[in-house]
Amino acid sequence: MYLLGEQSAYADALIIRLQNLSAQWLESLAPCGPEIEFVATDDLLAQLPGDQLFLLSEGVITGCIGARPLFYWQEGDLIGLQRGDAWSDCRLYSEGPLRLLPYRRREVFQHLYAEPSRADQFLEYLLGQMALLAHAVAELKPQEFRSTHGFKRVEAGEVLIRQGDVADHVFVIIEGHAEAFVDDLKVGEVPKDEIFGAMAVFTGEPRNATVIARDASTVMLIPGDHFLSMTRSNPKIAHSLIESMARRIGQLNKQITRLTAIKG
């Protein structure tokens, strides 16, 4: 079972190696009947006995989860391992001719575990399939969601962001509380779960405020380029950021109103 889409050189080499394994296991096991042929089919598993496995000797089979085509099998692959409740939303289909050689499921597993070398080959096949899927996920998963974020424990009074500094990270208060200052004048609060330091990352300008931990706090640091990618690919993060900025603008407006009243 291989994911649809372009494969890396590593994945291509692994696919070739895995394809040769099924025929090697079954070489000395007799099929339980003649080859089954299809011109094309919209739901292959519905037309195959549930107690059998099949060596695909001709054609390509596509697998869907829900309505989305995700993976495929080709000549030399073993068909029918994906059965049961966990695969109830999986549909296999083919737009072209197929030829399948049937084997009794129970006999296949008895045959595999009767010989240590065959059992090792089967384990290699399963681990190889897992490696292919993991490799594909690593290629498809956006880089910003990999474990590149750092966590920092700070004491009360410690400066998290200094006004005028270059903006290279965005911050989130995981535990604790901080305060924002402009020219030594307090302009707002930074509570738990607040995203801060993002504006300068967006604009590329120096930090326009100093942020100081009011309490002992745990802060998550996100590299600026990763954060920009996250806002493009994850609407929830962008929405949270907009809420945070709107709250901060409200705080600034209140601060300006108070200062105006004092001067008046």
What are residue 181's DSSP bridge partners? 186, 210
Let me know whether 197 and 98 are in one domain: no
Say how many CA atoms lie within 13 Å of 205 toward its Cβ. Answer: 7
For the range 62-70, what are the long-range contacts, defined as Cβ-Cβ under 8 Å and sequence gap of 24 or more? 62/4, 62/92, 62/93, 62/94, 62/95, 63/1, 63/90, 63/91, 63/92, 64/90, 64/91, 64/92, 64/93, 65/89, 65/90, 69/4, 70/3, 70/4
> What pLDDT shows up at residue 54?
93
The number of domains in the chain is 2
Let me know whether 91 and 207 are in one domain: no
Let me know whether 130 and 31 are in one domain: yes
The larger pLDDT score, comparing residue 117 to residue 251, is at: 117
Let me know whether 40 and 110 are in one domain: yes
Say how many CA atoms lie within 13 Å of 163 toward its Cβ. Answer: 13
Q: Which domain holds residue 73?
A: 2-141
Q: How far apart are the first and last CA of the chain?
A: 75
Let me know whether 164 and 117 are in one domain: no
What are residue 62's DSSP bridge partners? 72, 93
> What pLDDT shows up at residue 215?
92
Strand ranges inside the chain, DSSP E: 2-3, 36-38, 52-58, 61-65, 68-73, 78-79, 90-93, 98-104, 150-154, 159-161, 169-175, 178-182, 185-190, 195-196, 210-213, 217-223
Mean of all residue pLDDT scores within the chain: 81
> What pLDDT shows up at residue 139?
63
> What pLDDT shows up at residue 100?
95
Which amino acid is it at 17?
A: R
Q: Are 169 and 223 a contacting pair, CB within 8 Å? A: yes
What are residue 61's DSSP bridge partners? 73
Let me know whether 165 and 217 are in one domain: yes
| CATH number of the domain enclosing 161 | 2.60.120.10
pTM higher than 0.75: no
Distance CA 180, CA 163 (A): 10
What are residue 150's DSSP bridge partners? 221
Residue 158 scores a pLDDT above 60:
yes
Distance CA 249, CA 255 (A): 10
pLDDT tens-digit readout, 183-237: 888 888 888 877 888 888 888 889 988 999 999 988 888 888 877 776 666 666 6
Let me know whether 16 and 118 are in one domain: yes
Res. 97 pLDDT band, cuts 50 70 90? very high
> What pLDDT shows up at residue 143?
46
Of the chain, the percentage scoring pLDDT greater than 90 comes to 27
Let me know whether 120 and 246 are in one domain: no
Residue 262 scores a pLDDT above 80:
no
> What pLDDT shows up at residue 33?
93
pLDDT tens-digit readout, 45-66: 889 998 999 999 999 999 888 7
Of the chain, the percentage scoring pLDDT greater than 70 comes to 78
Q: Which of 107, 141, 175 is the last residue of a domain?
A: 141
10 Å CB burial of residue 218 (0-12, 13-18, 19+) is: middle
> What pLDDT shows up at residue 76?
86
Q: Which of 124, 141, 158 is the last residue of a domain?
A: 141
pLDDT tens-digit readout, 242-258: 666 656 665 655 665 66
For the chain, the 3-state helix, strand and coil shares in percent, each to the nearest 5, are 40, 30, 30
